[in-house]
Amino acid sequence: MDSSNLTSLPEEGSEETHNLPSAFSSIPARLPIQTSSQKYAPLDWSDYFDREDDIQIPDSDDVFHVYMAGTEGPVVFCLHGGGYCGLSFALAASKIKEKARIVAMDLRGHGKSATQNDVDLSIETLCGDVFSVLKTMYGDAPPAIVLVGHSMGGAVAVHVAAKKSLPSLAGLVVVDVVEGSAMASLIHMQKILSNRMQHFSTPEKAIEWSVKSGSLRNIDSARVSIPNTLKYDESKKCYTHRARLEETEQYWREWYEGLSEKFLSSPVPKILLLAGTDRLDRALTIGQMQGKFQMVVVRHTGHAIQEDVPDEFATLLLNFISHNRIGPQGIEIPGLRRPPQSKP
C-alpha cells in the first residue's frame, strides 16, 4: 500500500490527467514514438525469474504462488507491499540471481495466491503464511534466508524476524516503511484507495495509469508487475484491483504498531532502504546513531524502490549480503569452518 502518495488521482480520460506531472518529465522524448498499446504492453515474468510454482500448504486449502530464480547462495525471500504482487521484484531478480537465490511470493489476497480468506490480512495470519511457505519449500533444514519486505511486506518481514522462530534467518532488508510515518498516514488510506482509478478496459490501461499517476516510475517494471495485481470483473466487463485492501482496515494498525522496536531488536544484520530522508522516527534515529542498522536513502525514486530503480536496488542488496558475509548456510567467517546446524 503506497502510503507516501497522498494525492487524489483522477479517473482515466478526465481533463485532470493532462495536468499530472510526468514521472519522465526530465527525460527527453524517445523516438520513434510508440503507440500507447505497444508502450504499455505486458511483459512476461519468465524474462526475469527462472520458474514459478504453487506452494500447497499441507492440511489446508491455501495455495501460495511463488516466483524463483538463481541456483546458489542464500535465499533472498521477498514480500511485496499491499496492492502489489511478487512480480514487484522481477526486474531486480534478473540481477540478484547471479549471486543469490531469490524467491518472491504473492501474499494472501494478492497475485495468483488463493486462500480460504483473502481479506484476513492480520499480521499473525500473514506471518503464519510466510512460515508455512518456507516450511513447505525447505522442510526442517532451510538454507540461509535474507528476508526482504516492501511497505506492508516490510512490516511482515520485521514481525517474522521478531518471532525468532526462523533459525536460518541471516539478514533483514526493509524497503520504505517506518512506523511513525506509516501510522500517521493510516487516516488517509481509505481516501487514497477510493480515489484510485478502479476500472480498466485492458491491462495496458492499468499499466499506463500506474505510470502516469506516479505510483510506479519504471515502465518495464509496471509492464511485468501490474497485470498480476488485476482481476477481470465479468459483470462489469473490465479489470479491477485484485487485492481488496479497503476491506482490511481493521488490520492496518497492527502492521505498523511497535515496528521500530521490533526492527531494532532483531539480532540479524539489517538495512533500511528509504525513498526520502524525513521518515525516521525517534527510535530509529537513535538506533541508527548507535550503529544498530545500515540505512540508505535512494534518490530519484518513488515508494516502490525495487521497481523504480531495480538495478540499484539489486546492487544494494547484493552488497549487503557480501558485506555481512551471508552465504548459503548463513554468516560465513573466513578461515573458520561453520559447525553443523543441529535441528531444533
Catalytic residues: 151, 176, 303
Q: What is the dihedral of CA 46, 177, 249, 105, to 10 degrees?
A: 20
The Cα–Cα gap between 195 and 11 comes to 8
Question: Do 101 and 138 contact (CB within 8 A), yes or no?
Answer: no
Amino acid at 215: S
The Cα–Cα gap between 232 and 201 comes to 10
The Cα–Cα gap between 172 and 182 comes to 19
The Cα–Cα gap between 73 and 8 comes to 43
- Other CB atoms within a 10 A radius of the CB of residue 214 amount to 17
The cell for 208 is 499506463
The Cα–Cα gap between 112 and 80 comes to 13
The Cα–Cα gap between 69 and 91 comes to 12
Q: What ranges make up the beta strands (E) of the chain? A: 51-56, 63-69, 75-79, 101-105, 145-150, 169-175, 230-233, 238-241, 270-274, 294-297, 326-327, 330-331
Q: What is the DSSP string of 263-306?
A: HHH--S-EEEEES-STT--HHHHHHHHTTSSEEEE--S--S-HH
In 3D space, the residue among 137, 148, 108, 111 whose CA is nearest the CA of residue 125 turns out to be: 108
CB burial readout 251-263, b (16+ within 10 A) else e: bbebbbeebbebb
